[in-house]
Amino acid sequence: MKSTYKKMMKRAAVGILAVCCTVGFGGCNQTNETKDSVATEDKPYLISKEPLELSLFYLNYGYTFDEDNEVFQKAKEMTNISLKSVVSQSSSDAAQALNLMISSKNIADIVQYVESEPFIEYGNAGAFEDLNPLIDQYAPNIKKFFEEHPDIKKSAMSSDGKLYFIPMIADGKAAGGWFIRQDWLDKLGLQTPKNAEEFYAVMKAFKEQDPNGNGQADEIPYFSRTSEGNDGIWSMLILFNAYKDFYLDNGEIKYGPIQPEYKEAYKQIARWYQEGLIDPEIFTRGNNARDVLLENNLGGITHDWFASTAEYNNRLPETIEGFAFVPMTPPAGPDGVIRETETRQPLSGGGWGMSTTNKHKEETMKFFDFWFTEEGRRMANFGIEGKSYNMVDGKPVFTDFVLHNPELSPYSALSELGAQMYFGYWADFWYEEQWTNEIALKGIDEYVNNNYYTEQIPQFMIPDDIADTMQELSTQIETYNRETTQKWMLSGLDVEASWDDYIANMEKLGVEEYVKLMNQAYKDYLNR
Amino acid sequence: MMKKRNGLMNRLIRDKWLYIFLIPFLLWYVLFAYVPMYGLQIAFKDYNLFKGITESPWVGMEHFKTFFESPYFFRLLKNTIIISLMNLVFAFPLSVIFALMLNEVKNKWFKKTVQTVTYLPYFISIVVVTGIVTSFLAPSNGIVNIIIAKLGGEKQYFLMQKESFRWIYLLMNIWKDTGYNSIVYIAALAAVDSELYEAASIDGAGKLRQILHVSLPGILPTVIIMFILKLGTIMEVGYEAIILLYQPATYETADVISTFVYRTGLLEGKYDYATAVGLFNAVIALVLVLTVNHFSNRLAETGLW
């Protein structure tokens, strides 16, 4: 379904392209950070004396690269480097297009991809250049960035220390948080729940005391639009200090589903489900659960992304009197510690790299570096000065073209210009912050400033020789885990009584080896 | 000897146009059915797209071992075969019966309309079809449960019950495919000599007898061939529809080979493993087709060859 949606977006974008007009380019920034021999006084970012065209493979969730986009046109003016897309305009399946190109061995100078795996796999086979030496020679800004963020570089490197791509780096720590109907709490004279017991009491009150006032017990206290198997209830595990997957505990990686906390968590959650406090249809309601349950004044609590969830406060109060769906502090675990497990990881997936057949490695590396200069990063994030943003007190502030565009959402407006694309640059959370509503920002601030976040397992590449084994183990372990947990919830199968069997079966499926391999890979990463 | 060769030459020259028309189809088979067989070897290799087929190292039966040694292998095999067989036993005859029934409709307009209406679901995207199924079966306000409740029954969360899954899947496929699958039989029925019906009715055969003794034998070779072809795809239960409908609670009856392989994430990029699974499926299908074809030749005197 996601892909259809993206295709629609693409079509809409193409339609509007014609309306877009070109705008004079703003003046270049004065600071010259590259020790570049070609660069001149008035062209500090110049990379090549003669215009140079590099071929580019680019497909961002169905979007191909538009050579005329203003950001890259401006970059061309500044650097003398232009990019030529090799992907057919009608192409939308990135994996297929990439595989075709790789197997033809006729690889574009620059390859962009939204996942890291192909860079590692084909990099190891000799398709992509190891960028480490090139960065030292030609990319002072990237070098500086990696020196300041050594973890990000380590995360992007292959297990044998090669760097095959410059990652797209996300910014901002907050991802999702808890939301509750504050107006329901007020109506029933309740406080925001502080722990699992209070959470249960609030859900029960929502169910039984008719906060939506229609005389029926049709309220759905907890719901989630994440609905693949049991995923919708995963957010609740942390109320019991339990984890759905691997987590970091004092420098050691543990597997959540075999810990005693997991048993306690499911004992409670299964009971909550049986009592109707969790959406009975949580497994199949799907991605529009949030729309349906909030619009019909039925849903009480969820855990979801800040910005998009807070948006409902913009329009629903018109139809539902007093509607207030606000972020709440995560209820504390049994030990009184407040935890939030969902954060945004710096490595969003892929980025871009260069092929070994590229004949202009120096220029390509310098071009990669351009996007890590202050000016380049600003262009990649905010677009074109004077059109999409203006500098106010040293900060790029979006214009109405972005914030109040009659035809495009802020994000699409930026994409139109060629900003907020997907390639190797460092995102700036300030771009999102500017159109995130205040309710969400308040929640984000609370979560980030109080640092509710649990220690995250750093992102790292699992060495090839154990990756396949881990993949097999994880599939069979997860299959069994999901089956069992769903049975606990649905059939009221006694968690306590079946726990020993469950653990025995998990062991039979190789959970010990799975955890051991993961720890081994983690140690390898730490020693890298 | 000379005479025979002359005969062959003569025939070639006489039917030259037919042979020329045959060329594109032969080419198609060579290009798309025989040349790709060269690629089957990657089932035994650690295949890397960039290295290519010849450069990738051999790994022997590694991929097959991975597949067979999975603790879920037998469950997957069982589910795959049961779901396919249910389709064969219930859905397959239905399209034949549907064609026979439609053939008896004398009102042209009605016949065409029914044919078009039943034919349409085939073209609806599977994502939409499963969406319809999910909302029809929704426990709180799905139409099926509303009817059950009105009749005094208890509402059921069908998609979470492992006993229901295969039937839901079967009914969905029947609704989606019966009309489309019946086309070939409708075409075959059109070719049955109308004099046979006249002769039968003169002999006093009623409608039912005509169907049983004229229509059915008339399309029997088509039915048998379609049946054998269907057997050839018995191991290929598509993963899309199942992935969109199943739940961990129904894995026990719904998880098939293709969905499991899909979940391992090995379908993407891991062409070697996918090829190994495909090869295994193809071998089973080949054995089945050969066996059934053999018996069909002996018993019904029709077969693929």
pLDDT at residue number A227: 67
Q: Name the residue among A122, A468, A490 with its Cβ closest to that of B49.
A: A122
Yes or no, beta carbons of A476 and B139 under 8 Å apart: no
Confidence of residue A1 (pLDDT cuts 50, 70, 90): very low
Q: Are strands A220-222 and A299-305 parallel, antiparallel or unpaired?
A: parallel
Q: Are strands A246-249 and A347-354 parallel, antiparallel or unpaired?
A: unpaired
Establish if B37 belongs to a structural domain: no
Asked whether residue A241 carries a pLDDT value surpassing 90, the answer given is yes
Q: Name the residue among B50, B252, B266 with its Cβ closest to that of A127.
A: B50
For the record, the structure tokens of B275 come out as 């090829």
Q: Would you call B285 helix, strand, or coil by DSSP?
A: helix
Same domain? For A165 and A201 the reply is no
How near does any CA of chain B get to the CA of A291, in Å?
Answer: 16
- Measured between CA atoms, the residue of chain B closest to residue A470 is B264
pLDDT digits (tens, 9 = 90+) for B175-214: 999 999 999 999 999 988 888 888 888 888 888 888 888 9
Residue A455 sits at the vertex; the CA angle it makes with A451 and A456, to the nearest 5 degrees, is 115
Q: Please, which residues bridge with residue B128 across strands?
A: none
Chosen from B64, B162, B247 to mutate, greatest number of chain A CBs within 10 A: B247
Establish if B305 belongs to a structural domain: no
pLDDT at residue number B266: 53
Same domain? For A100 and A68 the reply is yes
Instruction: Name residue, tokens 């199943």.
Output: B246
| Complex confidence, ipTM | 0.79
How near does any CA of chain A get to the CA of B73, in Å?
Answer: 10
For the record, the structure tokens of A508 come out as 């039979």
pLDDT at residue number A231: 78
Same domain? For A81 and A114 the reply is yes
Same domain? For A131 and A248 the reply is no
Nearest to A201 by CA among A279, A300, A321: A300
SS (H, E, C) A479-521: HHHHHHHHHHHHHCCCHHHHHHHHHHHHHHCCHHHHHHHHHHH
Domain count, chain B: 1
How near does any CA of chain A get to the CA of B23, in Å?
Answer: 29
Per the prediction, chain A carries an average pLDDT of 88
Establish if B236 belongs to a structural domain: yes
Contacts of A476 in chain B (CB under 8 A): 70-72
How near does any CA of chain A get to the CA of B50, in Å?
Answer: 5
Same domain? For A412 and A394 the reply is yes
Same domain? For A192 and A128 the reply is no
CB pairs under 8 A between A and B: 83
Establish if A335 belongs to a structural domain: no
Yes or no, beta carbons of A471 and B266 under 8 Å apart: yes
Same domain? For A76 and A116 the reply is yes
**Residue pair A85/A58 in contact by the 8 Å Cβ criterion:** yes
Taking the Cβ of residue B220 and every Cβ of chain A, the question of whether any pair is shorter than 8 Å is answered with no
Contacts of A281 in chain B (CB under 8 A): 138-140, 157
Asked whether residue A389 carries a pLDDT value surpassing 80, the answer given is yes
Count of other CB atoms within 10 angstroms of residue B13: 9
Asked whether residue A364 carries a pLDDT value surpassing 60, the answer given is yes
pLDDT digits (tens, 9 = 90+) for A82-130: 999 999 888 878 888 898 899 888 999 999 999 998 999 899 999 999 9
Q: What range defines the domain where residue A126 resides?
A: 2-172+346-428
Confidence of residue A426 (pLDDT cuts 50, 70, 90): very high
Task: Kindly state the DSSP code that residue B71 receives in the 8-state scheme.
Answer: T
Establish if B150 belongs to a structural domain: yes
Residues from A in contact with B at Cβ < 8 Å: 1, 4, 95, 99, 102-103, 105, 117-118, 121-122, 125-127, 229-230, 280-281, 283-284, 286, 468, 471-472, 475-476, 478-479, 482-483, 485-487, 490, 508-509
Task: Kindly state the DSSP code that residue B88 receives in the 8-state scheme.
Answer: I
Inter-CA distances, A427 with A155, A382, B228, Å: 17, 10, 58
Domain boundary (A328, A355, A387) is at: A328
How far is the C-alpha of A328 from the C-alpha of B53, rounded, in Å? Answer: 56
Q: Name the residue among B247, B260, B265 with its Cβ closest to that of A486.
A: B247
**Residue pair A400/A387 in contact by the 8 Å Cβ criterion:** no
Inter-CA distances, B118 with B115, B180, B241, Å: 5, 7, 20
Burial of A433 from C-beta contacts in 10 A (0-12 / 13-18 / 19+): middle
Length of chain A: 528
Inter-CA distances, A340 with A262, A337, B288, Å: 16, 10, 55
pLDDT at residue number A17: 32
Asked whether residue A22 carries a pLDDT value surpassing 60, the answer given is no
Establish if A449 belongs to a structural domain: no
pLDDT at residue number A411: 87
Same domain? For A90 and A210 the reply is no
Yes or no, beta carbons of A122 and B48 under 8 Å apart: yes
Rg (CA), chain B: 24
Print burial letters for B250-280: b (CB count within 10 Å at least 16), e (below 16): bbbbbbbbbbbbbbbebeebbbbbbbbbbbb
Q: Which amino acid is at A352?
A: W
Taking the Cβ of residue B39 and every Cβ of chain A, the question of whether any pair is shorter than 8 Å is answered with no
**Residue pair A351/A156 in contact by the 8 Å Cβ criterion:** yes
Establish if A338 belongs to a structural domain: no
Asked whether residue A265 carries a pLDDT value surpassing 60, the answer given is yes
Same domain? For A78 and A25 the reply is yes
For the record, the structure tokens of A451 come out as 């640092």
Asked whether residue A2 carries a pLDDT value surpassing 60, the answer given is no
Q: What are phi and psi of A112, to 5 degrees?
A: -105, 140
How far is the C-alpha of B136 from the C-alpha of A288, rounded, in Å? Answer: 16
Establish if B101 belongs to a structural domain: yes
How far is the C-alpha of A21 from the C-alpha of A362, rounded, in Å? Answer: 34
Same domain? For A358 and A419 the reply is yes
Q: What is the CATH number of the domain that holds A411?
A: 3.40.190.10
Taking the Cβ of residue B266 and every Cβ of chain A, the question of whether any pair is shorter than 8 Å is answered with yes
pLDDT digits (tens, 9 = 90+) for B141-184: 899 999 999 999 888 899 989 899 999 999 999 999 999 999 99
pLDDT at residue number A31: 40
Sign of CA dihedral A369, A373, A378, A381: positive
Inter-CA distances, B28 with A126, B35, B38, B233, B286, Å: 35, 10, 16, 21, 21
Q: What is the CATH number of the domain that holds B22?
A: 1.10.3720.10
Per-run averaged pLDDT (10 residues), chain B, 305 residues: 67 90 94 90 90 90 88 92 92 94 91 92 92 90 92 90 93 94 93 88 87 90 90 83 90 90 68 87 89 87 77
**Residue pair A242/A261 in contact by the 8 Å Cβ criterion:** yes
Taking the Cβ of residue B201 and every Cβ of chain A, the question of whether any pair is shorter than 8 Å is answered with no
Report the percentage of chain A scoring pLDDT > 70. 92
Same domain? For A265 and A370 the reply is no
Domain boundary (A406, A428, A450) is at: A428
Q: Would you call A217 helix, strand, or coil by DSSP?
A: coil
B188 vs A232: which has the higher pLDDT: B188
Asked whether residue A143 carries a pLDDT value surpassing 90, the answer given is yes
Same domain? For A64 and A153 the reply is yes
Nearest to B267 by CA among A120, A510, A99, A466: A99
Residue A239 sits at the vertex; the CA angle it makes with A237 and A240, to the nearest 5 degrees, is 75
β-sheet with A81-85: strand ranges across = A81-85, A52-57, A110-113, A347-354, A166-169
Chosen from B45, B50, B68 to mutate, greatest number of chain A CBs within 10 A: B50
Domain count, chain A: 3
pLDDT at residue number A384: 94
pLDDT digits (tens, 9 = 90+) for A436-486: 999 999 999 999 999 999 998 988 888 878 888 898 899 899 999 999 999
- Side-chain-facing half-sphere of A145: CA atoms under 13 Å: 24
How far is the C-alpha of A207 from the C-alpha of A181, rounded, in Å? Answer: 13
Domain boundary (A328, A362, A390) is at: A328
Q: What range defines the domain where residue B243 resides?
A: 2-28+42-299
